[in-house]
């Protein structure tokens, strides 16, 4: 594999949370970068400053194969991050979820095949559902419990078929819970609630649900290693820290870092939403051994970094 500073790359979902952070790092490496995003959930503000640093932005949809083929014509790597990522939305709108996450992924694979590019596919730990084995290795049987997880698993299978049928180099990353500047999810929710009402915090669910939180710089490092490692093609890798933190513990940690006192933390109870997973905990030994990737940022350190940026 050539070094990234010699490559032309496309990031689908490049204006999203992870995508914008990836584009920033790729540009710092000297790569020629195109961000492909329909701004469905991505935001132009995330990448506006990067356009002055050489970022090419294409506002199109992965459901448009012609636009994809045009944008990826000369590229050597495609990072496919564009997706519908809301589990509740997927449960209420399975058809649209499928059109974006399955048909959209098929379109990106076809564009990669025509360009002869390696594709790094952003899959999810949601493919496991609620596994009994934790930490969960990549060899554990997949059994999604939400349409979102199902679409990611179908995307992985399309990736495998394209590799086996056409020899396309594809790497699949089963991403756990990523956070950092411009993030979404529980951390984003807690910080914004506490900004509005610093004396109380409502937590969805029982608070016992537990997550393997990965800081975005570690996530970006995994993406880049997946794109450049010769041994990665055709493989699926967990991207998680190998530690898990309950939502209740997370809430207390955020309150402590913010220096707030006498905060009433209360739990709504029941399941946070349909399709929500109980516990996520990655066995990341495969990524450590084969990609030479290891998470560098602890949850407490990452939360302090995020809070200091005030980009939430």
Catalytic positions, please?
148
Using an 8 Å Cβ cutoff, are 57 and 37 in contact?
yes
The DSSP code sequence of 226-255 is HHH-TT-TT-EEEES-S--EEHHHHHHHHH
| Strand, coil or helix: 200 | strand
Helix (H) or strand (E) holding 112: helix 104-115
Q: Report residue 145 as tokens.
A: 């419990």
| Strand, coil or helix: 262 | coil
Pairing verdict, β 77-80 and 8-12: parallel
Pairing verdict, β 213-215 and 177-179: parallel
Q: Which stretches does DSSP call E strand in the chain?
A: 8-12, 32-36, 56-58, 77-80, 118-124, 170-175, 177-179, 200-203, 210-211, 213-215, 236-239, 245-246, 264-267
Q: How many of the other CB atoms lie within 10 Å of CB of 45?
A: 11
d(CA 291, CA 285): 10
Nearest to 106 by CA among 150, 155, 148: 155
Cis peptide, bond prior to residue 5, ω within 30 of zero: no
Nearest to 148 by CA among 95, 103, 91: 91
Which phi-psi region, left, alpha or beta, contains residue 194 (left: φ > 0; alpha: ψ -120 to 50)?
A: alpha
Nearest to 182 by CA among 32, 7, 50: 50
């Amino acid at each position: 594999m050539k070094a990234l500073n010699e490559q032309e790359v496309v990031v689908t979902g490049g204006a999203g949370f992870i995508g914008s952070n990836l584009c920033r790092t790729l540009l710092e490496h000297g790569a020629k970068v195109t961000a492909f995003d329909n701004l469905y959930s991505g935001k132009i503000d995330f990448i506006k400053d990067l356009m002055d640093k050489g970022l090419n932005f294409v506002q199109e949809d992965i459901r448009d194969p012609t636009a994809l083929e045009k944008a990826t014509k000369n590229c050597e790597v495609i990072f496919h991050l564009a997706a519908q990522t809301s589990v509740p939305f997927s449960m209420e709108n399975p058809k649209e979820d499928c059109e974006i996450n399955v048909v959209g992924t098929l379109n990106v694979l076809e564009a990669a095949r025509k360009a002869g590019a390696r594709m790094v596919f952003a899959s999810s730990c949601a493919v496991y559902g609620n596994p009994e084995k934790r930490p969960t290795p990549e060899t554990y049987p997949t059994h999604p419990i939400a349409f979102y997880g199902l679409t990611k698993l179908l995307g992985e299978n399309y990736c495998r078929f394209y590799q086996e049928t056409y020899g396309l180099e594809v790497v699949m990353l089963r991403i756990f819970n990523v956070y950092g500047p411009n993030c979404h999810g529980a951390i984003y929710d807690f910080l914004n609630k506490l900004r509005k009402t610093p004396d109380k915090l409502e937590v969805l669910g029982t608070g016992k649900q537990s997550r393997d939180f990965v800081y975005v710089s570690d996530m970006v490092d995994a993406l880049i290693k997946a794109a450049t490692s010769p041994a990665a093609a055709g493989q699926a890798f967990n991207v998680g820290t190998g530690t898990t933190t309950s939502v209740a513990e997370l809430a207390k940690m955020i309150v402590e870092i913010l220096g707030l006192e006498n905060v009433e933390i209360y739990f709504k109870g029941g399941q946070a939403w349909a399709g929500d997973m109980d516990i996520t905990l990655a066995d990341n030994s495969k990524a450590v051994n084969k990609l030479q990737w290891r998470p560098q940022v602890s949850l407490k350190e990452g939360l302090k970094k995020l809070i200091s940026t005030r980009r939430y």
